[in-house]
Amino acid sequence: MKKKAFLILVLLSFAIALPMMVSAQCAMCTINAEQGVKNGNTQAAGLNTGVVYLLVIPYILATVVGVIWYKKYRKKSVHLNMKSDRINLN
């Protein structure tokens, strides 16, 4: 347990100490897609389809894993042998 906590602490400290350079191009892609659709360009439709695929696939995978997990680990019929006596909670 201590090794896992130490490893997580080291990884978090590296993530905070070493910032990454990120080039955010979402605004450029959005403008190009909008202009392409207005001008009749089919590449914009392909870009939109790619974004939809990237958005939907993780949700589908999570759903499949959840259904498999549920079916594998659920209890079929569990009978609890509980006494019918009343419990006095004083």
Question: Over the stretch 45-57, which tens digit does the pLDDT of each residue have?
Answer: 677 777 778 888 9
- C-alpha–C-alpha distance, residues 46 and 29, integer Å: 12
Question: Over the stretch 14-48, which tens digit does the pLDDT of each residue have?
Answer: 777 776 654 445 777 777 777 777 777 777 667 77
**Residue 33, CA atoms < 13 Å, CB-side half-sphere:** 14
- C-alpha–C-alpha distance, residues 12 and 79, integer Å: 46
* Per-position DSSP letters for 36-58, written without gaps between them: HHHTT-SHHHHHHHHHHHHHHHH
Amino acid in the structure at residue 64? V
How confident is residue 4, by pLDDT bands cut at 50, 70 and 90?
A: confident
> Is residue 37 within 8 Å of residue 45, measured between CB atoms?
yes
